Structure 1
Amino acid sequence: MNPLQRALIEKAGHDHGFEYVSASTDSQVQMASARHPAQVVVRLDGGRFILSFNALTTAQLNNELARSFPEFLFDDGVFQAPDQNALAVLLRRAAELAHALPNQAVRDFDVSLQQELDHLPLELKGTEVERLVRQRVGQQAFRSAMLDYWGGACAVTGIAIPELLRASHAKPWAECGSDAERLDVFNGFLLSANLDALFDRFLISFDNGGELLLSSQISHSDRILLGLDRPLQLHWIASEHLPYLGYHRQCFISAQQ
């Protein structure tokens, strides 16, 4: 690896979520970030970039990357990028996933919450005000993680206008037993505002294959007006979604009765 090749790899990392070099040799560059726990080692092989990732959630990260980019899978847990554009795509998606996957959102929540509570008057500690602060900070952390995980687009329609997107919980916030559940990116989906409103009220759900389920309470004419008169489904669904989705689907079924 010559100095120019090394510099191009380091720039790609800096621009796409791995902003500092933690180690560099004649054969490879290792990069990391202050924003997430993942690290990546990049080496050259016959003109290709070979990438391997290390993180607290390495298995999930590799599984998600393999699902998103099967054409870039080189070996078990190792990816190849044929050119600089593909290298940028892989690095950017890996950084998004590393920032979203459990339990990075919980760590971000803990840091942000402590900052908020440090400015809260002592007499308000342990009151309804503190509970509302916790909920607001948690929902912000959840939304940020969901935007990263779903690449800033609705999980069903692909709409990518941030103002129209909502982080929808499958197992409602109040029903979760811990912050880890509340902030788990697999506990819900990034949905456009109309789908979020329906999902939140158990008027729609999804089966284990990701296909949209519609409540009988939504009339045929309303389905047309809402754009629900055609087959719709999640762009993908991971096994980690299924327990939360099962909870939501039971609520959906109960709401029909």
Structure 2
Amino acid sequence: MIDTTNRLRTLPPAFASELAEAAWNHGYRRSGGQADGWLYFASDINVPGEIGLAVADGGAAWFLTVSHPGVAAELDAPAAMPVPNGMRAAFGFAEQRALRDALHRAYVLATTLPTLPLHEFEAAVAGLSDTETDRITRVRIGQDHFRRALLRYWEGRCPLTGITEPALLRASHIVPWAECTTDAERLDVHNGLLLAAHWDAAFDAGLVTFDDDGAALFSPLLGDAARVALGVPPSLTLVDEHRAKLSWHRTRFGFETPQ
């Protein structure tokens, strides 16, 4: 835990300019003012949450604070205390580059975590009726929004293979679209994985799944040639919301006995 007490009293103009540039370059382009050594910013488009940036010790320590609860929970960075009033978490970095990387990830998370993709979907289908044609259109629009959200969340890369070609990537629902009970569940990025096409096919068929640590589990029904082709993937980086959905998937395909 990094202690910022008495370290953020003033913000030299040169550093203020650098922080403002970092915020601007990573999507936070509306100034929210300055307080207690922090510079605050928000997005100038429909991206929820506010961020604050600070620097201490002549540039030897850099800080980011966020108000979005999902970003606060998922951002993988060293925690800093105390957290400014009205914010949910703060993080500290030894280098400006690390701060900028975290700022990029914070923006990505803010654009993909519930409930922004749902709100964008609802706006896109607001004029549709309940005819069969419009129901099909609604599903297509929803799946397009879900894919775009997963591409952002996983940074356009299959976490198992490293493949980045969009044509070879699939937005894999964990609980299938038709079996979700709400649009919020259908559009939730935690109910999906961005997988290369062969991994998506195996996952959708229940031939592979993942444990709570993100390690791949293979069905005995998977043939030897397919097993070799899939290889030995790295473990997925998961949050609790992923784990809950993957527990459903393992139960659905007989990888574990329901409790």
Give the TM-score, by structure 2 length. Answer: 0.84
C-alpha separation in 2, matches of 1:161 and 1:180: 28
Tell me whether 1:44 sits opposite 2:55 in the alignment. yes
Of residues 143, 146, 149, the one that matches 1:145 is: 149
C-alpha separation in 2, matches of 1:40 and 1:221: 49
Of residues 63, 78, 89, the one that matches 2:101 is: 89
Of residues 6, 15, 18, the one that matches 1:5 is: 15
C-alpha separation in 1, matches of 2:214 and 2:151: 19
Unpaired segments ≥5 residues, structure 1? none
C-alpha separation in 2, matches of 1:63 and 1:25: 24
The residue that corresponds to 2:31 in the other structure is 21
Offset, 1:222: 2.8
Offset, 1:25: 5.2
C-alpha separation in 1, matches of 2:124 and 2:235: 31
Alignment of 1:1-257 (within 5 A): 1-24=11-34, 27-33=37-43, 34-46=45-57, 47=59, 48-55=61-68, 58=69, 60-66=70-76, 69=77, 72-75=78-81, 77-114=89-126, 117=127, 125-224=129-228, 226-228=229-231, 230=232, 232-253=233-254
**Number of residue pairs the alignment of both structures matches:** 236
SS in 2 for 1:144: helix
C-alpha separation in 1, matches of 2:136 and 2:32: 39
Matched-pair identity in %: 36
C-alpha separation in 1, matches of 2:15 and 2:212: 45
2:122 corresponds to which letter in structure 1?
D
Aligned residues of 2:199 and 2:230 also touching (Cα < 8 A): no
Once the two structures are superposed, residues 158-217 of structure 1 have per-residue CA deviations (whole angstroms, 9 ceiling, x without a partner) of: 322222211111100000000111111111211111111111121211122222122222
Aligned residues of 1:165 and 1:190 also touching (Cα < 8 A): yes
Once the two structures are superposed, residues 68-106 of structure 1 have per-residue CA deviations (whole angstroms, 9 ceiling, x without a partner) of: x3xx33247211133332221111000001111111211
Offset, 1:236: 1.1
SS in 2 for 1:152: coil
Once the two structures are superposed, residues 1-59 of structure 1 have per-residue CA deviations (whole angstroms, 9 ceiling, x without a partner) of: 2333222111111111212212235832111112410211112221222211012xx1x
Aligned residues of 2:157 and 2:163 also touching (Cα < 8 A): yes
C-alpha separation in 2, matches of 1:2 and 1:32: 21
1:38 corresponds to which letter in structure 2?
G
Aligned residues of 2:75 and 2:106 also touching (Cα < 8 A): yes
Q: 1:102/1:234 Cα in 2 relative to 1: closer, same or farther (>3 Å)?
A: farther
- After TM superposition, which residue ranges in structure 1, 4 or more long, deviate above 6 angstroms? none
C-alpha separation in 1, matches of 2:235 and 2:149: 18
Higher helix content, 1 or 2: 1
**Is the deviation greater in 90-99 or in 77-86?**
77-86
Q: 1:73/1:159 Cα in 2 relative to 1: closer, same or farther (>3 Å)?
A: farther
C-alpha separation in 2, matches of 1:162 and 1:82: 34
Aligned residues of 2:118 and 2:183 also touching (Cα < 8 A): yes
